[in-house]
Amino acid sequence: MLNLKQNKSKNPNPLFTDVSITKRTKDGLTLVNKTGLSREIHPSVLTDKGLDILLDKVHVPVAWMEDWFAKTLAETKQAEDNRNKSLFYKNIALLIANKEFILSDRKYFMTPVTGLNFGVYRVGNFNDMPIGAWLEIWSFYPATIDTCACGGIAPIVSFGGSALSGAHSRTAICLQCGKTIKNSSGKFSTIWKPFAEVQKKYRKFPERDAVSLEKLILLLKSKTEMLNSQSDKE
C-alpha cells in the first residue's frame, strides 16, 4: 500500500510531493502545490483516494499532483512560451545588430531560444536552436530572409509544412517596420534545409554556460545605450 502519511524524513521521496489545502468548503478545496500554483478541486477527488481533507497538507505521488494541476501547468507553460516567443520576435533587430558580439562568445552563442513551436512534417521541429544558430542561418542562407512591402528585410522566424509536397506557410518579421509577414510562395526546401543542417551541427553542443535570452537582451540594450551616449559626447 502507498504510504500517504505526512513525510517527516530528511530525504523526501522524490516521487512524492506535498500539496497544501489552503481553503475548504463543502464543494471545493483550494490546493496549492510546492511551486505556488493553486487550483480549486472537488473534495471527492481526494477522498476517493483515501486522503484526509482536513489536513493542512497531503503527501501524494507527484503523478497525482500533476494530474490535478494539469490544466494550470499547461496554461502556465503556454503563458511562459508566449512570453519567450515575443521576447525573441521583438528583439530580432537588436540581436542581428550584435551578431559579431554574440557569435564570438560561446556563452552568448548558446543562449537558448525557447517558446517556439514549428517544423516540417516528417522531418522534425526546430524549437530548441540557440540564438547563434539562428544568426548563422539568416547570415548564410538568403532564402531564409523575406522582403517586406516597405522594402525592409524580414528574417523568417517560423514555418510549417510538408517536405514532400513543398506546401508550406511561413512567418517573417520586418526589421524596418516591425510588421509580421505571412508567406507561402517559393521553394520550401531552400528554407527548411538550412534549419535542419545548422540544428544538427549545434544540437550536441552543451548549453552549460549559456546565459538566458532575457539576460542577453538586457546586456545588448545597455551596451547599445552606452555606445549611443558615448557618440553623443563626441
Q: List interacting residues with Zn ion (CB under 5 A).
A: 148, 150, 152, 174, 176-177, 179
**Cβ distance to Zn ion smaller for residue 150 or 218:** 150
Q: Residue 142 CB, nearest distance to Zn ion (Å)?
A: 18
**Residue nearer to Zn ion on the CB measure, 47 or 176:** 176
CA-nearest of 88, 97, 98 to 212 is 88
For Zn ion, the closer CB: 55 or 175: 175
Which cell numbers in the block locate residue 177? Answer: 517596420
65: three-class secondary structure by DSSP: helix
For residue 148, the minimal CB distance to Zn ion (Å) is 3
Tell me the angle at which helices 213-233 and 70-90 cross, rounded to the nearest 10 degrees.
30
- Contact predicate 61/16, CB 8 Å: yes
**Residue with smaller CB distance to Zn ion, 150 or 164:** 150
3 phi and psi, to 5 degrees? -95, 110
Name the minimum Å distance from CB 176 to Zn ion. Answer: 5
Closest CB 166 distance from Zn ion, rounded Å:
26
Shortest spacing between CB 116 and Zn ion, in angstroms: 22
Nearer to Zn ion, 104 or 180 (CB): 180
Classify each residue of 179-217 as buried b or exposed e, where b means 16 or more C-beta atoms within 10 Å of its C-beta.
Answer: eebebeeeebeebbbbbeebbeebeeeeeeebbebeebb
- Please give the Cα distance from 208 to 216 (Å, whole number): 15
